[in-house]
Chains A and B, each alone.
Chain A
Amino acid sequence: MDGDQTPEEQVEIGESDQGPQFDDQVELIDVFKYSLDQRIMDGCVISAVLEPRGQDTIVAVSVTNKIVIKDTETSLNITETIRCIAAAPFGDGYDCILIGTDSSVICYDVHNNLTVFRNDVPDGVNCFAYGKLGDNEDAIYCGGNCCIWGFDRTGANTYWTVTGDQVTTMCLSDYDGDGETELVIGSPDFEIRVFKNDLMRAELMETDEITCLSHVASGCFAYSLNNGTIGTYVLKERQWRIKSKSNVSKIFNFEEQGLMVVVWKQGKIDLRFSHNGEVLSRESVSTPVASATLMRKGEDSIITVVSLDGKVKGFKVQRATHGAIDKTQQLIREFGQKKHNLMMELSNYEQEEQMTEAEKDRDFRIPADTEVAVLFVVNCEAQLLSLRVEASHDIPIRNVVIFAEGLFEGESYIWIPPNEHQSRSTIDIPLIIDKDSTNDLHTKVFLGHVDSNKLMVMENTRILPRFCRFTLLKEEYQKYFYMPTCWIKFDINPKVVKLSEWVLESFTIDSSLVEMFDEAQGEFKFLGLRPKHEKSLMFRISHTQKTFEIFHDSIETLGAMVQSYASFFQIQNMECLAHFPDVFEEAEGILEEIEPMTEVRDRLTTELQERQAAVKEIIIRAEDSISIDNIPEARKCYIRMKANDAAARQAALLRWNNQERCVKSLRRLNKIIENFARLRVGEPGRQIVVSCRSAIADDNKQIVTKILQYGASSQ
Chain B
Amino acid sequence: MSEEPVIEFSGFIKACRLFRENRLSEAEAVCTNLLRKNPLDQATWALKLQCLSDSTYIDELENEDMGLAETFLDQNVIAPNARPGTSFARPKTTAKGVNPILRPTTNAGRPLSGVVRPQSSFKPGSMDQAVRTARTAKTARAVSSTSARNMRLGTASMAAGADGEFVNLARLNIDKYAADPQVNRQLFEYVFYYINDIKTAHQIAGTASKAAGFEDYYWKNQLAKCYLRLGMIADATKQLQSSLEQRKLIETFAFLAKTYNRVDQPMAALKTYSAGLEVFPEDVTMLTGMARVQEALGEYDISIALYKRVLDAQANNIEAIACVATTYYYGGKPEIALRYYRRILQMGYTSSELFMNIGLCCLAAQQFDFALSSIMRAQSTMTEDVAADIWFNVAQVMVEVGDLPAASRAYRIALTHDPDHSESLVNLGILRYREGKTDEARSMYAAAVAKNPLMFEGNYNLGLVCFTQGKYHECRRLMERALEVFPDHEHCKKILNSIKPLYESI
A interface footprint on B199-233 (CB within 8 Å = 1, 0 otherwise): 10011001000100100000000000010001110
Q: Is the CB of A606 within 8 A of B202?
A: yes
Asked if B155 is an interface residue, CB under 8 A from chain A, the answer is: no
Residues on B with beta carbons closer than 8 Å to the beta carbon of A610: 146, 198-199, 230
* Alpha-carbon distance A605/B68, docked complex (angstroms): 22
Residues on A with beta carbons closer than 8 Å to the beta carbon of B235: 605
Q: Is the CB of A617 within 8 A of B146?
A: yes
* Alpha-carbon distance A620/B263, docked complex (angstroms): 21
Which of B73, B147, B226, B264 contacts A619, CB < 8 Å?
Answer: B73
A-B CB pair tally, cutoff 8 Å: 111
* Alpha-carbon distance A152/B200, docked complex (angstroms): 37
B interface footprint on A64-79 (CB within 8 Å = 1, 0 otherwise): 0000000011101111
Q: Which residue of A lies closest to B75 (CB)?
A: A79
Asked if A607 is an interface residue, CB under 8 A from chain B, the answer is: yes
Q: Is the CB of A613 within 8 A of B75?
A: no
Q: Is the CB of B78 within 8 A of A77?
A: yes
How distant is A528 from chain B, measured CB to nearest CB, in Å? 47
Asked if B69 is an interface residue, CB under 8 A from chain A, the answer is: yes
* Alpha-carbon distance A104/B77, docked complex (angstroms): 16
Asked if B81 is an interface residue, CB under 8 A from chain A, the answer is: yes
Residues on A with beta carbons closer than 8 Å to the beta carbon of B147: 617
The interface stretch among B57-65, B82-90, B492-500 is: B82-90
Q: Is the CB of A620 within 8 A of B79?
A: no
The interface stretch among A128-136, A161-169, A560-568, A621-629 is: A621-629
Residues on B with beta carbons closer than 8 Å to the beta carbon of A111: 83, 86
Q: Which residue of A lies closest to B133 (CB)?
A: A627
Size bracket of the B interface: 35 or more
Q: Is the CB of B146 within 8 A of A113?
A: no
Asked if A599 is an interface residue, CB under 8 A from chain B, the answer is: yes
Given contacts A599-B206, A605-B232, A609-B231, contact A624 B79 (CB under 8 A): no
Residues on B with beta carbons closer than 8 Å to the beta carbon of A602: 202, 206
Q: Is the CB of A74 within 8 A of B143?
A: no
Given contacts A113-B264, A619-B69, contact A609 B75 (CB under 8 A): no
Q: Is the CB of A118 within 8 A of B69?
A: no
Asked if A108 is an interface residue, CB under 8 A from chain B, the answer is: yes
Q: Is the CB of A617 within 8 A of B76?
A: no
Q: Is the CB of A114 within 8 A of B75?
A: no
Given contacts A114-B267, A616-B144, A617-B143, contact A77 B79 (CB under 8 A): yes
* Alpha-carbon distance A184/B98, docked complex (angstroms): 53
Given contacts A619-B73, A620-B68, contact A606 B199 (CB under 8 A): yes
Asked if B131 is an interface residue, CB under 8 A from chain A, the answer is: yes
Residues on B with beta carbons closer than 8 Å to the beta carbon of A607: 199
- A residues 90-117 in Cβ contact with B at 8 Å: 104, 108-115
Q: Is the CB of A113 within 8 A of B203?
A: no
Residues on B with beta carbons closer than 8 Å to the beta carbon of A73: 81
* Alpha-carbon distance A14/B226, docked complex (angstroms): 65
Which of B68, B83, B128, B230 contacts A606, CB < 8 Å?
Answer: B230
* Alpha-carbon distance A120/B266, docked complex (angstroms): 23
Residues on A with beta carbons closer than 8 Å to the beta carbon of B77: 77
Asked if A603 is an interface residue, CB under 8 A from chain B, the answer is: yes
* Alpha-carbon distance A104/B231, docked complex (angstroms): 18
Asked if B260 is an interface residue, CB under 8 A from chain A, the answer is: yes
Asked if B117 is an interface residue, CB under 8 A from chain A, the answer is: no
Q: Is the CB of A74 within 8 A of B144?
A: no
Asked if B352 is an interface residue, CB under 8 A from chain A, the answer is: no
Residues on B with beta carbons closer than 8 Å to the beta carbon of A616: 69-70, 73, 144
Asked if B365 is an interface residue, CB under 8 A from chain A, the answer is: no
Q: Is the CB of A599 within 8 A of B69?
A: no
Q: Is the CB of A603 within 8 A of B69?
A: no
Q: Is the CB of B265 within 8 A of A113?
A: yes
Q: Is the CB of B69 within 8 A of A613?
A: yes
* Alpha-carbon distance A627/B210, docked complex (angstroms): 48
Given contacts A113-B265, A114-B260, A616-B144, contact A77 B75 (CB under 8 A): yes
* Alpha-carbon distance A619/B127, docked complex (angstroms): 11
Asked if B67 is an interface residue, CB under 8 A from chain A, the answer is: yes
Most buried by A among B69, B203, B265: B69
B interface footprint on A586-622 (CB within 8 Å = 1, 0 otherwise): 0000000000000100110111011011101101110
Residues on A with beta carbons closer than 8 Å to the beta carbon of B238: 118, 120
B interface footprint on A677-715 (CB within 8 Å = 1, 0 otherwise): 000000000000000000000010000000000000000
Which of B79, B198, B232 contacts A74, CB < 8 Å?
Answer: B79
Which residues of A come within 8 Å of B, CB atoms?
72-74, 76-79, 104, 108-115, 118, 120, 599, 602-603, 605-607, 609-610, 612-614, 616-617, 619-621, 623-624, 627, 699
What 6 additional pairs, Cβ within 8 angstroms, besides A110-B79, A114-B260, A115-B268? A77-B77, A603-B206, A606-B203, A606-B232, A614-B146, A699-B213
14 interchain pairs, CB-CB under 8 A: A72-B81, A77-B77, A77-B80, A113-B83, A118-B238, A599-B210, A603-B202, A605-B232, A609-B231, A620-B144, A621-B143, A623-B127, A623-B131, A624-B131
In the complex, the 4 A-B pairs of residues with the closest C-beta atoms, listed nearest first: A113-B82, A114-B268, A113-B86, A616-B69
